[in-house]
Structure formats: structure tokens, C-alpha cells
Chains A and B, each alone.
Chain A
């Protein structure tokens, strides 16, 4: 007689496929996963507590260090929340610049997601380097406007830190002209690749109802067929002035989550093109007191980030520091579904599922 028993392994926290210091405690029956528990906290820096001892303006660079692959978006969500709290009007030009940066950031983040996901399928670094090629151009653009390539600290309460330099628009034009061709290139290489299809079709299916119930947001939610994007559902900045689609998929499997990123990059290009054409002149920053003291009260500001709904909940007691500073992190909440998607699958599938959810530990652990 054979006696069998489940075996438990620790996956991570140091492992190239976990996107940072993330650990999964996985229980196997043979090769099949029967249980999976995500374990967080290795990158917990207590940003919410730190925020309580900083002024509103000092917090902006801390937000860079949440999802560091989408720092512009974090800046954006935070300054929107502060502006809501303090009732600050933002010049139109600044709003357009923010939208341009946020959409470039979305493209850069999606490129990384797709690239790393393919890495996890065994296409070791070749596709990723293609994606890196384009991301590099976006980082060059960001460097032009704020001198930084990763933690931008570009947005300010009431606007942005600098107006764009002369060379920015021609470079952006070049990028926007090239990018659709590059997206086609990825699509040709990947969309019908037999290995990619075999590894992703029907893997990790997330039904729409479950996605909503688990507070999932962003491309993961839309891949399950839920047409919910804050840029349309609750427009902020100047998103209501652009003509773009909210793509959705139907099956909610890993393949659809991959498709979502490709489709969304195309829409981002569309938005940037319109924003470039409409970009008005004028001020790039409103006059805001150096030490801002918002009136007593609270505000919740949110944006549709590359990973989902990124929200900041701020409570003011009238002092220069927020009384409470809470971050609604989409990457953490999207992980709610990880266990259920992985149970019954193989370890190799779990990695691809994790890659398709797209996490960044800076944001998960905060």
C-alpha cells in the first residue's frame, strides 16, 4: 500500500518570478495545487504612518515608491485627492500634461507586465527586451520633463512641477507615431504563438461576478467582461474630453488578461494623440500656499491606474499634516483572487496567473 500526503513548499520571498519580495505558501497534492496562501509584508515601510508626520507636499515623493513602475499615476491620484480635500482649481494645461504622463505611464507599465508574463512562460527575456526598448523611450520622455527615470515626483498640488521643455513635443510625436507599429509587432509575435496560447487559454478563469465580489479592478476586472473604467465611469482631470474605448474581453483567463494590456495600450496612444492636439497654453501650476492647511474634513480621490483603482483617502484636522492617509492599493486587492485561480492547477500555471494579475510589491505592502 502507498501512503500519500500533501507537500507544502514556500515559494519566495526571494524568487525572480514573484515580482519582488512576495511569498506564497503552496500546498500540493502530487503536482496539483490544493491550497495557496499569499504572505505579504516584506516591503512594508509604513508609508501610511509616515504620511501622518509629513506635510501634504512632502508626501508626493513617498507615493512614487508605491507602485514604482507607475509613479506618475501614484502622483496623479494623490494630488487629485489633496485638491479635492482643499478645493484647489487646477489650470487646464496642467490637467492635459497629467493625462499625457498618466497614459505614457500606463503604456510603460503594461509593457512590463506583458514582458514579464512571457518571461514566466519561459520566453526568457527576449520579448521583455523588445518591450524594454519602447519603455526606455517613455523613460527618456519623463527624464526630459522632470529629470528622473523611475521616481518622478513630477506632479504638484495644483499642477505639475515644470512645464514641458521644447524638445518634448517632437520626441513625443515621434514616439506616438512609432508606437502603434510596435504594438502590431508584439501582436504578430505573440497573439497566435502556439506556446503562449497553450499556456494561457483557459488558465486561471475569473468569472465576472467573482471579480466584482473580490474588489478586483483594472485590466483584470475588464478581462472578465466587466466594463468598468474610472476614466469613463467617474472621469477625472480632463478624460471626459477624449474619444476612446474601454476594451473588455469575455473569458477572464490569462490570455484575456494579456490581451487587455495590448488593447489598452492602443487606447492610450489614442488619448495622448488627442491630448497633444488639444493641449492649451497658460499656467502649469496654480498658486498654492507653500504650507497647505486644508480645511477640516476628508476626501477620497481615485484614478484608473495601470493596475486598477488607485485611491487615496485623506482626513484633515486643519493642520499642515494629514490626520490620516490611507492608500487603496489595487495590487493588494487583485491578489484576493490568486488562491482561487490557482487551486487545481500546476505550479507553472500559478506563476503565469500571478504574472497576469500584475502586482508590484511596493504597492501591495506599502
Chain B
């Protein structure tokens, strides 16, 4: 059984290394500041005992007052998992550091989040729309998207 690590434990470990990075945690997830994503992700990937070598999924949710980017991380080596979440409050120009340099599997998923939710990832090697065409106006998965859906 893949063990879902407790958010509190992982938050504590992150906090020891990056004192200001963690903003909140719950049973299964750790909330961190946007600017620390890359550092924290590298720590989670490399720290002995954690070793989250597998990026299961990246997605985003629009909670209207903020976006929440959700990273599901798994360690194939240790068979455990954790959910990492980042809140973006800037609606006009939400940006986060890209994690493609750590997990190449983030490539298409970050492009998907950018395309459908409109969150940009700094440092992504090829950030452009993935499903919709170049001239498409807006990002359909946002709750305020006005379109024929």
C-alpha cells in the first residue's frame, strides 16, 4: 500500500530546511509559498527518507479568490506519497517556478495548466498552449471563463 505521508510530518521536515516556506498543512497536503516551489521540490526529491522521484500529477484548481496548484508526488523507491499545494493570489498574472528541471514529466502538465488555467511557469523550456490553438482567448478551466461551454 502506498503510504500517504502526513502533511504535518513533511511540513516539519521542510520547515527545518526552509523556515519560511511552509504556509499551512493538513492531513495529506503541505501548502508552501510560490517562490519556494523549486527549492522545496528539489529538497523533497533528494532528501534521504523522502526521495520523491516520481511526479504523479500537476493540476490546478480555481477557488476564485486564489488559484491552487496541486502537485501529487510519489516515491517509487519508498512507496509513499505527499500532496504539495501552492496558492497564487495574483489573478491577472499568476506565475510559479517550473519544476521541469527536476522532473521532465512536468513538461506537458505545466503546459496544460498554462493552457487551461492560465498559470505561467517560469523556466519552462517550451511554455505554450498544448490543447487549444495559439489565438484562443482566455483559459477555459477558470471559473469566470465566458465561453460556449
Instruction: List A residues at the B interface (Cβ < 8 Å).
Output: 40-41, 44, 46, 48-50, 53, 210, 212-216, 226, 228, 233-235, 300, 302, 309, 311, 313, 315, 323-324, 326, 328, 332-333, 335-336, 365-366
Contact = CB atoms under 8 A, between A and B. Distances in A.
A44 to B, nearest CB: 4
B54 A46 contact: no
A49 B70 contact: no
A233 B75 CA distance: 11
Contact of B105 (A214, A235, A311): A214
A315 B61 contact: yes
Given A41-B132, A49-B149, A214 B72 contact: no
A323 B68 CA distance: 13
Nearest to B115: A41
Contact of B131 (A226, A234, A365): A365
Contact of A216 (B72, B105, B130): B105
Contacts of A226: 76
A358 B55 CA distance: 21
A315 B53 CA distance: 25
A70 B116 CA distance: 26
B8 interface: no
Contact of A48 (B53, B105, B107, B116): B116
Contact of B59 (A41, A49, A234, A326): A326
Contacts of B133: 41
B23 interface: no
Contacts of B109: 215, 333
Interface residues of B, number: 32
A212 B104 CA distance: 9
B28 to A, nearest CB: 9
Contact of A233 (B62, B79, B140): B79
A234 B103 contact: no
A315 B106 CA distance: 21
Interface string B62-77: 1000000010100010
B13 interface: no
Contacts of A212: 53-54, 76
B54 A44 contact: no
A266 B33 CA distance: 48
B149 A233 contact: no
A336 B149 contact: no
A50 B149 contact: yes
8 contacts: A41-B129, A41-B131, A44-B132, A213-B103, A213-B105, A215-B103, A311-B56, A328-B57
B116 A336 contact: no
Given A214-B104, A333-B109, A49 B72 contact: no
Given A300-B72, A311-B57, A335 B108 contact: yes
B1 interface: yes
Interface in B57-107: 57, 59, 61-62, 70, 72, 76, 79, 83, 103-107
A49 B62 CA distance: 12
Contacts of B72: 300, 311, 313, 328
A215 B54 contact: yes
A50 B132 CA distance: 16
B2 A233 contact: yes
Contacts of B1: 234-235
B113 to A, nearest CB: 10
B61 A323 contact: yes
B104 A213 contact: yes
